[in-house]
Structure 1
Amino acid sequence: MSVDEASMLPAQVSPPQFALSELAPHEIGQVECLAFTVAPDGDTVTPGPGMDAAGAAFGLDLRALLDSARAQGTVGAVTVLPVSQGGVRVVLAVGVGEGTDTDLRRAAASLARATKGRHSVAYLLPDGVGAAGVTATVVGAMLGSFEFRWRQAEAGDEPVARIVLCGRDPQAEQAVVDRAVAIGGAAWRARMLATVPSNVKNPGWLASQAVEMAGSAGLDVEVWDEQRLAEEGCGGILGVGRASVSPPRMVKLTYTPVGADTADVPHVVLVGKSITFDSGGLSIKPGDSMLHMKRDMTGGAVVLSAMAALADVGCPVRVTGLLAAAENVISGNALRPGDVLVHPNGRTTEVTNTDAEGRLVMADAMAYAVDQLAPDVLVDVATLTGAMKVALGQHTGGFFANDETLASRIDAAGAASGERVWRMPLWDDYEDKISSKIADSVNSGPGPGAITAALYLQHFAGDVPWAHLDVASVGDAPAERFEWTTGPTGFGARLLLEWLSTDEPLAGIV
């Protein structure tokens, strides 16, 4: 950077704060908005609990107001009923559909959007909502509030400052809310890191963010510079990053549960693709395809953000996170098609496409992990292939796995977290497409592209149970949609934390 561009990044908005109260919404003092749920009932709606009591307290027929406003109970529909009772300015009717956890998460995201610029809202969930529904509500409200801002201030556009969940037992449910805030916060941070523009975000900046976050989260952290990368034989990271004036980095983060005996606790390694900008290198991308490549480090952002939240969600296993960071650009020193790279385990790759760079840096990190860290399970996260977007569209992530139990855990965590994934086949029938006459493999062969990329990476997993999350399909949200906000999604952080916070994440695997 010619100037200290990192200092240019302005302060960002914060997600809402959450509180629990046993009171009904209209009994809460100093709130600006009251929110109640409604469900569809033919051509009209059925109000959830609390609305009639609030109407009686205000001397209003809120049901009649709902009818006149033609309120809808479909998921995410928000009907605004203006009132003026003390400090209360509006009553909101929030459609929750059938009231599933997914419905509640989406409804809360819509509520958060509808209350931007407000200082507080008291929200009453439907009867019978348990811990999973509360978690979904908190996460949805947080992520529906997300915004990255680098423009002149716009008054009244900040997220609602405080959300009170009413009719809840604070003593019994505070831990549920705290866990939900940690999960939502990890997804928020992953989005933030992926959205930072690349004139600020380079491998060194990302490493500095990792050091800062590790300090706050109590993680051990180590940063490898280009000299250490060379000593460790990381030809992939060095090859991809050698054209940039911002040298590559590898970041190693370590989490150990409090009081754990490391000899007896299973060990998970997470690897995140951290390409801070991807021009495609000499195999240059078209201009339109390059526009969103600041987010090509989403995998690293997801791993870093999940690592920082492991203690908060009570992860019971050891976890090491590896961020393989480089900038893939063009210069006279750029990686060329036809070059051969050597990875830490001695395996070689013939480069046939410099725009298939993510797998080269991840290969180094995976090889190092298998040879030096003795993981029981290895999981990588990457915005890896455009082929995955072709296969699955932009609402579903893809994953591959070489272990059936691990695959079922990843699939279940995706469903529970709201980050849905679809398992893809690791068919060795396509191995010939990545074969090379002069190296152990090529980095890019003819399609099917997502599968051949996974087959390439599988060689670096050895015999370790391994899952590969290719989130290129969901790396960017094309439009506002429930908890998804336009731009980088940070997809994967919630899934990883949902899995790693279970009592025995590796049961049946090790």
Structure 2
Amino acid sequence: MKLMTHITAVALAVASSGSALAAQFEFTSKLTDGDTLVLFQATDTKTEFKFLDKDTRTQLNKAVKATAFSAEYGKSLEVLAPIDSDYDRIVLVGLGETDELTIAKMAKLGGNVHASLAQKKANKVVMAFEKVSGLANNSELAAQFAHGANLRDHRFETYKASKTTTSISYTFDVADDNATSKLYKQLANIEQGVFLARDLTSEIASEMTPVDFAQAAKSLEQYGVKVTVLEPNEIKALGMGALEGVGRGSKDGARLVVAHYKGSDEAPIALVGKGITFDSGGYSIKTGKTIALMKGDMAGAAAVLGTVKAMALNKTKVNVVAVMGMAANMVSENAIAPGDVLRTAEGLNVEVLNTDAEGRLVLSDAMWYARKHFNPEIMIDVATLTGSKIRAVGDRYSAIFSDDKHLVKELTMAGKQVNEQVWRLPLGYKDMLKSDIADLTNLGSGGPGATTAASFLQHFAGDTRWVHIDMAGNELSSVAAGEVPTGGTGYGVRLLSEWLLSNQ
């Protein structure tokens, strides 16, 4: 049975590199045949669509007037069975103000338009995109629209008896087809990293244990990524008592998974991911229906692994290593108990006041390992860490913590570019982590929970430039919107990829 689990994980990781049912995209210099024609209109630009037949154009203009279509961003108008046209439908999409049309808005628009066309059962869609302009050039906007559409098209249907059997083929009429194709190829590689992260997060906990995650990570070796997996005895021998302790309650124990893509000889960037494949809370057990969502508590690890895949596929000239502390936080006779003390590899002893504050424990040893073995220039940890973060900024932002204002600024800008926004929260309240019997506790005795958790992690950053991203609430979506379908979101892959590509 366990062999089947391993095969499932590896197949899942490999399958994310492409699907026969995925949307298809072609960029050309002319309009082609299809069943659906998509036109675009900005609020501040008069587009006459002279390439349409006169009667078709008259019908479209009449529909625009009758519906008072104003071309606001995201609004659309559909004309069915247009007169003297080979298309079954024409869809007019509003772009809003030209000087407000960003690549982020275009990607989101692509996702929403794709979802609408899929619902209409469109099959072959022609995009009249040549005259579209905004704050980026025509090629960038077209590539981002396709990017958003394909991100929204992704689906996790492993456990559905009735699976999606249709797909949409897009042809874009653009100003420069070669430039657009080149730009989209880079985005398509980032998509593969997102899809990997989504699939790993969406997979059920019994099929995505630390062992399975490690096997999935191994699939990146085909792209030139060096993958190392440390097992419980090796973890313990290195003194990583926090990671080993959290994994002690599960049958397979913890794993440390390291995926290193060395695209340059510069000092590496370390991405550290929290990988709790299921979080029961341990003896401080979770209650309520949200426990069913705890398969997503490894989304930070999935995000950093997906980012490494994206960089490797793009052959980016960057030295990046993902270090992922993997464990299932379970209840058993071997599990740690509230009040236990764990010794971290940093040499600090932690009194475990709450076994449900386990993410910071696995991260503490993973951060130490990243510093000790790779001496990174910058270290960024990504984790679904605290409910406090959700109460502070909700699920439309992740929370970012750092004393390095330049890194905060860079990551904030990167997030805006890809619709994965971050909001800075303060570090502090370290005095709330004092313990009577150890060096510190794993739970603050007061103060904001997201901040005390971040301040706990700061003990393990050393002198390295460091950022903590708390993405709790961003990992799973129950409502599809923009580029994001339901299920695992892959949050963090595009944020980190954009930052790496912008600063290489």
Question: TM-score of the superposition, structure 1-length normalised?
Answer: 0.89
**Partner-residue secondary structure (3-state), 1:61:** helix
Is 2:109 aligned against 1:107?
A: yes
* Cα distance change, pair 242–474 in 1 and its aligned pair in 2 (3 A): same
Q: Aligned equivalents of 1:7 and 1:89: distance in 2?
A: 44
Displacement of 1:378 after TM fit?
Answer: 0.4
1:241 maps to 247
Q: Which amino acid aligns with 1:370?
A: R
From 21, 33, 36, the equivalent of 2:36 is 33
Per-residue deviation, residues 121-174 of structure 1 (Å, max 9, x unmatched): 222331355154334323211222122112122556x442x2222123122332
Preserved CA contact (<8 Å) 1:266 1:317 = no
One-letter identity of the residue aligned with 1:79: L
Distance 2:331 2:470 in 1: 25
Letter in 2 for 1:103: K
Q: How does 1:249-398 map to 2 (within 5 A)?
A: 249-257=255-263, 260=264, 262=265, 265-398=266-399
Distance 2:55 2:343 in 1: 73
1:72 CA displacement: 5.8
1:53 aligned residue: 51
Please, which moves more after superposition, 308-317 or 324-333? 308-317
SS at match of 2:437: coil
* Inter-CA distance 418–443: structure 2 relative to 1 (3 Å threshold): same
Structure 2 counterpart of 1:443: 442
| 2:308 aligned counterpart, secondary structure | helix
Structure 1 CA distance for aligned equivalents of residues 71 and 195 of structure 2: 28
Shift of 1:304: 0.6
Q: Distance in 2 between matches of 1:63 and 1:154?
A: 39
CA contact (8 A) 2:104 2:416 kept: no
Secondary structure of the corresponding residue to residue 282 of structure 1: coil
Aligned-pair CA distance for 1:441 = 1.0
CA RMSD of aligned residues (A): 2.4
TM-score (norm 2): 0.90
Residue equivalent to 2:500:
500
Match of 1:88 in 2: 87
**What residue in structure 2 maps to residue 141 of structure 1?**
149
1:184 matched to 2:191: yes
- 1:321-367 deviation line (CA, Å, top 9, x unaligned): 11111111111111111111112222221111111111111111101
Distance 1:219 1:2 in 2: 26
- What is the one-letter code of the residue matched to 1:32? D
Point out the more displaced range, 128-137 or 373-382: 128-137
Q: CA deviation at 1:6?
A: 5.6
Hey, what does 1:508 align to over in structure 2?
none
Q: Which region of structure 1 is more displaced relative to structure 2, 225-234 or 453-462?
A: 225-234
Contact residue 241 and residue 327 of structure 1 kept, 8 A? yes
> Would you say how many aligned residue pairs link Structure 1 and Structure 2?
485
1-structure distance, mates of 2:276, 2:431? 27
1:123 aligns with 2:127: yes
Q: Quote how far apart the aligned CAs of 1:189 are.
A: 2.2
Q: Structure 2: how far apart are the matches of 1:469 and 1:217? A: 27
Q: Quick check: 466-475 or 130-139, which moved more? A: 130-139
Counterpart secondary structure, 1:467: strand
2:227 equivalent to 1:221: yes
8 Å contact from structure 1 (residues 403, 465) kept in 2 = yes
Question: 2:454 aligns to what?
Answer: 454
Structure 1 residue 203 displacement after superposition: 0.7
Q: Tell me the SS of whatever aligns to 2:410.
A: helix
Alignment check: 8 A CA contact 1:97 1:103 kept: no
Cα distance in 2 for residues equivalent to 1:247 and 1:52: 66
- CA offset at residue 69 of structure 1? 5.4
Mapping for residues 420-435 of structure 1, pairs under 5 Å: 420-427=421-428, 430-435=429-434
**Aligned pair in 2 of structure 1 residues 79, 193: CA closer, same or farther (>3 Å)?**
farther
For residues 60 and 231 of structure 1, the distance between their equivalents in structure 2, rounded to whole angstroms, comes to 77
- Structure 1 residues 412, 148: closer, same or farther in 2, change over 3 A? same
Change in CA separation of 1:63 and 1:154 when aligned onto 2, cut-off 3 Å: farther
Give 5+ residue unaligned stretches, structure 2: none
Conserved? CA contact 2:5–2:212, under 8 Å: no
